[in-house]
Amino acid sequence: MAELPSPRCFALLPCAGTGSRSGAALPKQYVTIAGRAMVAHTLEALGRVARLSAALVVLAPDDDRFERSVPGFAGAHGWVARCGGATRAQTVANGLAVLAQRGVQAHDWVLVHDAARCLIEPAWVDRLIDACLDDEVGGLLALPLADTLKQEEGGRVAATLPRAHKWAAQTPQMFRLGLLRRALEQAGPAVTDEAGAVEALGLSPRLVEGDAANLKVTWPSDFRLAEALKGTP
């Protein structure tokens, strides 16, 4: 039996959300930070990861902002598909189908990354690839929790939760195309990240330490912080 070719790596950016928590007047991926749309910063950083064969951006069907915000992206290594779903999981699943149509194989790696994590550095992505390329399952960037956790009920503290052995998930999250498609099909549309879908199959993704700067720009204060960090030489 012929051996499979060495697996390639592809990035997938779900970029179909409305960013309702950000308080912005437009989808948050298009909010300007340091003179450029947030998603432009994200794609520029991923474009500097040499082992990524291509990046697919999955947009809402009616998106009319992307090409103006990221001019010149589409090409041999930059792909766009307007097939976003109602949830992140549906958008990612639709994007995986597009990758398969483009010839990405079941054993190839897909790194799903939030467009709103615009402070991502190529070195962090390379760290994830190094850790997971020969892993049977795959894994994700994450950070051990440093803050004390409180459980809330009715606006008051109901309990203090132990933080030992707890990590905050980040992206990219790196899994093989075939495994991730199967995981998302079985998990359904409500799953909030790819690792959770893979865990539901009884598998244990690898935790790879990320960086505190790899924040997901979500709340109004996050935009100010991202602007300050992007403006720092």
Query: Could you tell me the CATH superfamily of domain 9-135+171-203+212-230?
Result: Spore Coat Polysaccharide Biosynthesis Protein SpsA; Chain A (3.90.550.10)
Helix (H) or strand (E) run with residue 124 in it: helix 122-132
Lookup: tokens for 180: 């991730």
Q: Examine residue 172 and say whether the peptide bond preceding it is cis (omega within 30 degrees of 0).
A: yes
Least confident residue range of 103-107, 122-126, 158-162, 208-212 = 158-162
SS3 114: coil
Average pLDDT taken over every residue of the chain = 93
Q: Where are the domains of the chain?
A: 9-135+171-203+212-230
**Tens-digit pLDDT profile for residues 35-57:** 999 999 999 999 999 999 999 99
Please give the pLDDT value at position 22: 45
Task: Report DSSP state, residue 117.
Answer: -
**Tens-digit pLDDT profile for residues 105-139:** 999 999 999 999 999 999 999 999 999 999 999 99
CA 28 to chain centre: 15
Phi, psi of 128 (to 5 degrees): -65, -45
What secondary structure does DSSP assign to 191-229, as a single string? --SHHHHHHTTT--PEEEE--TT-----SHHHHHHHHHH
Question: What percent of the chain lies above the pLDDT cut of 70?
Answer: 94
SS3 68: helix
Name beta bridge partners: 57: 13, 80
Q: 190 falls in which pLDDT band (50, 70, 90)?
A: confident
Q: Is residue 150 within 8 Å of residue 160, measured between CB atoms? A: yes
Averaged pLDDT for residues 155-166: 92
